[in-house]
């Protein structure tokens, strides 16, 4: 029985190589007839192999050529890109907030030639125990911001050791003044 299957497989492979256009049309027709079956198969495959696929995409998209292609597309389609970014932010509010905190702090630190690193806001919040580093009161995660102990404008870096939790309003009121002046007021 195995020999017959192997013979059929070899014959089919040879036919596909001899008739590439007809083979492609046949595969396309089969796909159109079995679209739902393929969709379910692909979903299951992606669920089982999620980590490997993410890593593959990360490596593939990290090449200079792909980065240049993405930049060219973003420049050519600013409205479409903005819509995609807004949809992603809406679908991933925690990640969007973390990304925004990190990118703003890192950018300001780069502009001042200060050190910077990626900071996880959840770790900062847990480290401070949900207490505002400026007023000392309880802090809800919805009102959480990361405040730089030594402001970036005064030479501090965007580092985990240089940030603490703060209420949004406390952080705005503080500005770039040192903490000891705030407590004496």
User: Which DSSP letter does residue 150 get?
Assistant: S
CATH number of residue 150's parent domain? 1.10.30
Q: How far apart, in whole angstroms, are the C-alpha atoms of residue 54 and residue 155?
A: 37
- Using an 8 Å Cβ cutoff, are 121 and 105 in contact? no
Residue 40 lies in a domain: no
Q: How many domains does the chain have?
A: 1
The answer to whether 165 touches 139, Cβ cutoff 8 Å, is yes
52 found inside a domain: no
Domain that holds residue 85: 78-185
- Residue indicated by tokens 């925004």: 100
**Is residue 115, in this structure, part of any structural domain at all?**
yes
The answer to whether residue 43 sits within a structural domain is no
Give domain status of residue 171, yes or no.
yes
The pLDDT score that the predictor gives to residue 179 is 78
Q: Is 5 inside a domain boundary?
A: no
Global pTM reads 0.55
Q: What is the pLDDT of residue 155?
A: 87
In a domain, 45, yes or no: no
pLDDT tens per residue across all 185 residues of the chain: 678 889 999 999 999 999 999 999 999 999 999 999 999 999 999 999 999 999 998 888 888 888 899 899 999 999 999 999 999 999 998 888 778 877 888 888 888 888 988 888 889 999 999 999 888 899 998 888 889 999 988 888 899 999 999 999 999 988 888 877 655 54
Name the residue among 153, 170, 152, 172 with its Cα closest to residue 162. Answer: 152
Looking at the chain, list the stretches that DSSP marks H as alpha helix, in order from N- to C-terminal side: 2-18, 20-33, 35-48, 50-61, 64-76, 78-91, 93-111, 121-127, 168-174, 179-184
What's the pLDDT score for residue 185?
47
- Whether residue 109 lies inside any domain: the answer is yes
Are 134 and 142 in contact by the 8 Å Cβ rule? The answer is no
For 21, how many CA atoms within 13 A lie in the half-sphere containing its CB?
A: 0
φ and ψ of 59, to 5 deg: -65, -40
């Amino acid at each position: 029985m195995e020999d017959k299957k192997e013979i059929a497989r070899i014959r089919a492979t040879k036919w596909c190589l001899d008739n590439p256009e007809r083979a492609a049309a046949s595969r396309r027709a089969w796909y159109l007839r079995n679209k739902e079956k393929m969709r379910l198969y692909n979903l299951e495959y992606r669920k089982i192999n999620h980590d490997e696929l993410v890593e593959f995409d990360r490596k593939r998209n990290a090449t200079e050529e792909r980065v240049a292609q993405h930049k060219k597309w973003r420049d050519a389609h600013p409205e479409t890109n903005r819509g995609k970014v807004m949809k992603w932010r809406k679908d991933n509010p925690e990640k969007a907030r973390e990304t925004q905190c990190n990118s703003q702090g890192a950018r300001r630190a780069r502009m001042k030639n200060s050190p910077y690193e990626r900071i996880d806001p959840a770790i900062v919040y847990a480290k401070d125990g949900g207490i505002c580093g400026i007023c000392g009161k309880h802090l809800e995660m919805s009102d959480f911001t990361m405040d730089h102990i030594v402001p970036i404008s005064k030479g501090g870096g965007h580092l985990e050791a240089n940030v603490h939790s703060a209420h949004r309003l406390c952080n705005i009121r503080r500005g770039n003044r040192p903490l000891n002046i705030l407590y004496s007021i």
